[in-house]
């Protein structure tokens, strides 16, 4: 049986290392099926909006959780239903992705409908690495 539990310093260190890869990168929001994993290339999915991340992109982790720092809204380049996001580095390398919905997802919006030309902003986005007992 596997039962890995990170100590606080390890969870914070891992979270900060992953979050640092997003510095100056982008939060890309897509319509379509989320790829099988973070290494799977985007194919038929439609990019709805790309939000530029600040440097640093996330606050220092506390309790294995880093919160997204303030970003400026970006203008949607396509119309569709947001279903997943992918964080990319400044050079465009994939960092991680997750689901978008109205509840119970990695990122929750009041509505997942995005219209071309509409400003799209994100607040309350976090990266979490489980600590001991979590």
Give residue 1's pLDDT.
Answer: 75
Instruction: List, for residues 31-89, the tens digit of each pLDDT value.
Output: 999 999 888 999 999 999 999 999 999 999 999 999 999 999 999 999 999 999 999 99
Give DSSP secondary structure letters for 15-84: HHHHHHTTTT-EEEEEESPPPSSTTSPP-S-EEEEEEEP-SS-BPPPBTTEEEBPP---EE-SS-EE--E
Q: Would 134 be classed as within a structural domain?
A: no
Q: Would 2 be classed as within a structural domain?
A: no
Q: Would 3 be classed as within a structural domain?
A: no
Q: Would 66 be classed as within a structural domain?
A: yes
User: In terms of residue numbers, what domain contains 113?
Assistant: 8-36+43-128
Q: What is the mean pLDDT of residues 21-40?
A: 94
Q: Report the predicted TM-score, pTM, of the whole model to 2 decimal places.
A: 0.90
| CA–CA gap between residue 116 and residue 79 (Å, rounded) | 5
The count of domains in the chain is 1
Give residue 25's pLDDT.
Answer: 97
Give residue 133's pLDDT.
Answer: 55
Token reading at 3:
């039962």
Q: How many CB atoms lie within 10 A of CB 93?
A: 10
């Amino acid at each position: 049986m596997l039962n890995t539990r990170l100590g606080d310093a390890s969870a914070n260190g891992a979270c900060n290392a992953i979050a640092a890869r997003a510095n100056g990168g982008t939060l890309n929001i897509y319509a379509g099926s989320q790829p099988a994993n973070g290494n799977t290339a985007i194919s038929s999915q439609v990019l709805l909006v790309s939000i530029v991340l600040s440097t640093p992109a996330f606050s220092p982790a506390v309790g294995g959780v880093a919160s997204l720092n303030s970003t400026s809204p970006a203008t949607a380049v396509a119309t569709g239903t947001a279903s997943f996001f992918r964080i990319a580095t400044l050079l465009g390398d994939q960092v991680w992705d997750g689901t978008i919905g109205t509840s119970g997802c990695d990122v929750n919006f009041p509505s997942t409908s995005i219209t071309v030309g509409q400003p799209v902003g994100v607040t309350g986005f976090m990266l979490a690495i489980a600590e001991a007992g979590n």
